Amino acid sequence: MSNSILSAQDLSKVVPVAEGELTLLHPLSLDLQAGDSLAIVGSSGSGKSTLLGLLAGLDLPSQGRIVLDGLELATLDEDQRAAVRAERVGFVFQSFQLIDSLSAWENVMLPLELAGRRDARAHAQQLLERVGLAQRLRHLPRQLSGGEQQRVALARAFACNPAILFADEPTGNLDSQTGERISDLLFELNREQGTTLVLVTHDERLAHRCHRQIRLEAGHLLASVEP
């Protein structure tokens, strides 16, 4: 499809174990359009995080191909894949993954500075104001609540206007009310920037807000749903 931002064909992952081989992900295919949103759901150990890592180019498949924003990941070496992630991909994790020694402002500035943005300070401040943290710019992560840390992580993930954002249980460490607010921000930023979202989640409310859902079980694609 001409507007495809992420395409996976016959994707699978097999790893060696003492008994022989273990299939973490059985062959599956999917195609996402720019600005789309996909929830990957399933029980623990179903292959959700394995699929997310493959789609994001953090790991290589045992078979199949992945094309991310026009680039086939298997044809790139590790450094090239890292460059693609830096330029086109954002990440949000359940554990926030903020740098403890940097303030909220500095955490958001960092990817902008690495990208050579001369307006890094001003743009980082605008993003933190956008997520409601104008009064917390100079606070370290340990001085912020879990919800505030996740808002910093969201601002950082969207800082470089990624073509696609991968989120692994973005509300998993948050209470339901804070999780709802983070979900609202995620989809508001998705609409404003046109960023494609790929979410691994146990949160059914978050999953139902996505355009599409796929459900995995024991590495198999059980269902693909468009709510």
How far is the C-alpha of 225 from the C-alpha of 208, rounded, in Å? Answer: 10
Query: Does residue 1 register a pLDDT over 50?
Result: no
Residue 25 placed within a domain: no
Query: Does residue 171 register a pLDDT over 90?
Result: no
- pLDDT tens digits for range 123-143: 999 999 988 999 999 999 999
- pLDDT tens digits for range 20-69: 999 999 999 999 999 999 999 998 889 999 999 999 999 999 999 999 99
**Residue 100: which domain range?**
35-59+89-225
Query: Which amino acid does the sequence have at 4?
Result: S
State whether residue 68 is helix, strand or coil.
strand
Residue 14 placed within a domain: no
What's the whole-model pTM score?
Answer: 0.89
Residue 19 placed within a domain: no
Q: What is the DSSP letter of 8?
A: E
How far is the C-alpha of 59 from the C-alpha of 176, rounded, in Å? Answer: 32
Residue 78 placed within a domain: no
Residue 204 placed within a domain: yes
Hey, how many other C-beta atoms are within 10 angstroms of the C-beta on 82?
13
Residue 3 placed within a domain: no
pLDDT on residue 178 = 85
Domain tally for the chain?
1
pLDDT: which is higher, 225 or 195: 195
Residue 103 belongs to domain with CATH number: 3.40.50.300
Q: Contact 49/200 with Cβ under 8 angstroms?
A: yes
How far is the C-alpha of 122 from the C-alpha of 166, rounded, in Å? Answer: 25
- pLDDT tens digits for range 72-105: 998 999 999 999 998 899 999 888 899 999 999 9
Query: Which amino acid does the sequence have at 154?
Result: L
Residue 216 placed within a domain: yes
Residue 200 placed within a domain: yes
